[in-house]
Structure 1
Amino acid sequence: MNSRNEFSWNSMISGYARHGNGDKALKVFREMQQWGQEPDLVTFVGVLSACSHAGLVEEGSKYFESMKNHGLVPQMEHYSCMIDILGRTGKLNEMEDFIKKMPVRPNNLIWRTVLVACRRSKDGAKSGIWKQASEMLLELEPENPVNYVLISSMYAYRGRWEDVAKTRTAMRTLPVKKEAGRSWVTLHDGLHVFVAGDRSHPNTEEIYAKLHVLIQKIRDAGYVPQAEFALYDIDMETKEELLSYHSEKLAVAFVLTRSCRVPIRIMKNLRVCGDCHSAFCYISKIVGRKITLRDCNRFHHFENGKCSCGDFW
């Protein structure tokens, strides 16, 4: 491009960040400065997001602190990015200290980021801040179904099934409706949409047969179902079966029933769970295909057993 401005630079930085190319995003940021283009608030959202998705804690902290050198005052989005950076890398104590030092009162975005971080971390259930985040979210957004789902998942992870039931009861008594997870693919014959356990597709039998073969192959390769993502008080075998029928797994099995080797591109309206993310890594290696999964947060590019996010998402 002969003509470059803050919009083109910011678009490049944000695009690389969303696709898990943190190093490329930061390289563009450095080039932007070399060209003499002054970064703005949007620029730093992209830069911090890149650090978050790539797990670059020290770099993220450095760029956050550098905002004042450009005469910029961090906004709530920038604080949220920093909390996300610390949370994704399991630094929950540092995350809690960061929140205490914030010069502004944390809003719903901050507390939701905290809860997601605690759910993602193996030590999240031990941290007291997840309880505070839960209480604040219900106070700030009592009718947002996402909050109830996150809180319910934390209780399930800790095996507190009575609290899971109470949370779900609260959802039913309020005008709250959980958005159903669904995945879709577009092929030459149109749009194909799937929900968990879906058997409405005309090729259902073929899809499930392919899925069963896939699950067995990735198990043989080392995949172990992550039962903590099945949020029900049921036996382990049933949990694993429920996980295997998640919408994105059905979608990838459907594409693999086709003989043509079209690029595998799947869209999902919610965040991909940890079990499906692990399964897709194995599937990409087993079938020797690149798989792109776009969830509500970012693009995941799976190839040869690895994801572009580096397992930070």
Structure 2
Amino acid sequence: MLRNALETNVNLLTKFITTCASLAGIHHARRVFDHRPHRDDSFLCNSMIKCHVGMRQFVDSFTLYRDLRRNTGFVPDSYTFTTLGKSCGLSLAILEGQGLHGHVVKIGFCLDLHVSTALVDMYAKFGKMGYARMLFDEMSQRSEVSWTALICGYVRSGDMSNARLLFDRMPYKDSAAFNAMIDGYVKLGDTGSARSLFDEMPYRNVVSWTTMIYGYCHSGDVESARLLFDTMPEKNLFSWNAMMGGYCQNKQPYEALRLFQEMQSTTSLEPDEVTIVCILPAIADLGALDLGGWVHRFIRRKKLDRATNVCTALVDMYAKCGEVTKARRLFDEMPEKETASWNALIHGFAVNGCAREALDIFSKMQHERYKPNDITMLGVLSACNHSGLVEEGKKWFKAMEEFRLIPKIEHYGCMVDLLGRAGCLEEAEQLIERMPFKANGTILSSFLFACGCSKDTVRAERVLNKAVKMEPHNDGNYVMLRNLYATEERWRDVEEIKGLMRKNGANKEVACSVIEVDGRVREFLAGERLNPHLEAINLTLDQLKKHMKGQIIKITGGGLN
């Protein structure tokens, strides 16, 4: 361009600067702009301001506008104010936004449709719905974008009644307005209203379908979400991610894996960061280590391992699959860490019984000035719990005050479990009574288990009476006391417990285990008689029993049956 004296062509120079900003870097684009021969061309100046906003350099966009107004003959137009309004809204720069509004009034762009819409959207993003509504009401003409901007503002502020009133008044309802309303109802958990609006839509786009899928999953109605997913005329990666994430969120990891494999085999879509972060927890829950290894190799091949959230999910997956050494190595290799990364490793060591390693990582985390949060402390207390470190657990529970963290019911539950397993039943019961929360079913079940281990029948009976009122269908609570009665040969009490279970409809859940064999996840149920490999399984179990019995006799010299 310089060699052919084409830098004087303002259109070509503008396109060059825009391309430069997206490919070579904003700094080079800005250097070219600063040496431009056209000092006051609106199109060129607006493009440079837009480049700064596109790169989220909001302060630079404001500074450039002020410098242009002060040092050149630049005259702003509607495009200038629309871009700067977006910049203020995205950066929540309230003072700059109010100053911009003053410039709009001063220069006389108040009646411009695009500028007024940008200001309505800006105030709505600030949460200043009074200003946004006042501007909207003063507009002589409005577009679908103007209506949608104000509706989105009400939705974001949680004011669904005003959002709905405005939506019903809207002369032409475009898909963006429908999507905003559906999203608002979904976030409030009102899937009924969301579905009614969804059914009213004259044209449903992928965003609408995906929002509804997310809403159903968030409310626990995975079946409705899957039905909607299967009837979608067109799916994109966001839709698949929403459905997979929904299965993981609702403790259906096997279904999440099946859907992931279906996406791989039936579409040309490639997993992205969100897909990976959705699917790794499912792999961790099922212990599908072979598949986890394949996903890890895919991540490396696609260079997704630069993302901190992906690396954190990998650390969590390996740790939960028992590969704590791999998890630690991956953690150490991470280019950047966040609190969630430390939490994943601490929890990983905790669930694998490596309490000292978990506490060492916690100590290193503090040394490197990462601030622990509620989840960190849950991992620390869990590590102490798994290894019976009572004094250590008490120390860190008390230290939560120093970290300015208020213990939640989960932290109290961890401490009750730790004290109970250590046989400190009196102290555990006192902690339950001192809690600022009402004891939930999990805490009572945990304490009941501790009473059973310590063979404290009187205390167990007292706890069961409370637990039954709270969770009458929880079979584990009855079974614990029933077994305690059985060890004391109190057979009449055993029968009473069985009768109470029948009366309250507490049927014992069938035990289930999952294992990965040759890359396939297989599920086994206790007492199952329909498994096609039942004969081979029983034969293998018999061989294992004989081998174990032989080893016991060898070790004990025949002293044990």
TM range (shorter): 0.5 to 0.7
Partner of 1:52: 385
Could you tell me how far 1:194 is from its partner in structure 2?
5.3
Q: Which amino acid aligns with 1:125?
A: D
Q: Does 1:136 align with 2:469?
A: no
Alignment of 1:1-313 (within 5 A): 1-121=334-454, 124-125=455-456, 128-188=458-518, 191=522, 193=524, 195-196=526-527, 201-204=534-537, 206-220=539-553, 221-222=555-556
Between the aligned partners of 2:381 and 2:559, the Cα distance in structure 1 is: 33
Could you tell me how far 1:189 is from its partner in structure 2?
8.6
- What SS does the corresponding residue of 1:167 show, helix, strand or coil? helix
Could you tell me how far 1:89 is from its partner in structure 2?
1.5
Q: Which amino acid aligns with 1:156?
A: A
**C-alpha distance after superposition, 1:94-131 (max 9, x if no partner):** 2223223333332222211101112223xx325x3322
Between the aligned partners of 1:203 and 1:138, the Cα distance in structure 2 is: 41
8 Å contact 2:362–2:380 — kept in the other structure? yes
8 Å contact 1:18–1:50 — kept in the other structure? yes
- What SS does the corresponding residue of 1:70 show, helix, strand or coil? coil
Q: Which amino acid aligns with 2:368?
A: W
- What SS does the corresponding residue of 2:382 show, helix, strand or coil? helix
**C-alpha distance after superposition, 1:66-101 (max 9, x if no partner):** 001111111111111111111111222222232233
**C-alpha distance after superposition, 1:255-304 (max 9, x if no partner):** xxxxxxxxxxxxxxxxxxxxxxxxxxxxxxxxxxxxxxxxxxxxxxxxxx
Between the aligned partners of 1:177 and 1:68, the Cα distance in structure 2 is: 42
Give the structure with the higher percent helix.
2
Instruction: Answer with 1 or 2: which has the greater Rg.
Output: 2
8 Å contact 2:512–2:523 — kept in the other structure? no
Between the aligned partners of 1:224 and 1:103, the Cα distance in structure 2 is: 52
Runs of 5+ consecutive residues of structure 1 not aligned to the other structure: 226-239, 241-313
Partner of 1:234: none
Between the aligned partners of 1:129 and 1:167, the Cα distance in structure 2 is: 16
Give the structure with the higher percent strand.
1
Q: Which amino acid aligns with 1:8?
A: S
Partner of 2:308: none
Could you tell me how far 1:167 is from its partner in structure 2?
1.6
Could you tell me how far 1:50 is from its partner in structure 2?
0.3
Q: 1:39 to 1:155 in 2, by over 3 A?
A: same
Q: 1:214 to 1:194 in 2, by over 3 A?
A: farther
- What SS does the corresponding residue of 1:106 show, helix, strand or coil? coil
Between the aligned partners of 2:500 and 2:535, the Cα distance in structure 1 is: 37
Counting matched residue pairs gives 223
**TM-score (norm. length: structure 1):** 0.64
Could you tell me how far 1:134 is from its partner in structure 2?
0.6
Between the aligned partners of 2:338 and 2:514, the Cα distance in structure 1 is: 36
Could you tell me how far 1:54 is from its partner in structure 2?
0.9
Q: 1:189 to 1:31 in 2, by over 3 A?
A: closer
Q: Which amino acid aligns with 1:102?
A: M
Q: Which amino acid aligns with 1:136?
A: K
182-191 or 211-220, which deviates more:
182-191
Between the aligned partners of 1:8 and 1:143, the Cα distance in structure 2 is: 37
Partner of 1:230: none
- What SS does the corresponding residue of 1:179 show, helix, strand or coil? coil
**TM-score (norm. length: structure 2):** 0.37
Between the aligned partners of 1:151 and 1:70, the Cα distance in structure 2 is: 39
Between the aligned partners of 2:389 and 2:508, the Cα distance in structure 1 is: 33
Between the aligned partners of 2:493 and 2:431, the Cα distance in structure 1 is: 29
Q: Which amino acid aligns with 2:489?
A: G
Could you tell me how far 1:153 is from its partner in structure 2?
2.3
Runs of 5+ consecutive residues of structure 2 not aligned to the other structure: 1-333
Between the aligned partners of 1:224 and 1:158, the Cα distance in structure 2 is: 26
8 Å contact 1:51–1:59 — kept in the other structure? yes
Partner of 2:27: none
Q: 1:189 to 1:203 in 2, by over 3 A?
A: farther
Could you tell me how far 1:147 is from its partner in structure 2?
2.1
Between the aligned partners of 2:537 and 2:379, the Cα distance in structure 1 is: 41
Q: What percentage of residue pairs aligned between the two structures are identical?
A: 33
Could you tell me how far 1:192 is from its partner in structure 2?
6.3
Q: Which amino acid aligns with 2:536?
A: N
8 Å contact 2:451–2:460 — kept in the other structure? yes
- What SS does the corresponding residue of 2:443 show, helix, strand or coil? helix
Q: 1:15 to 1:212 in 2, by over 3 A?
A: closer
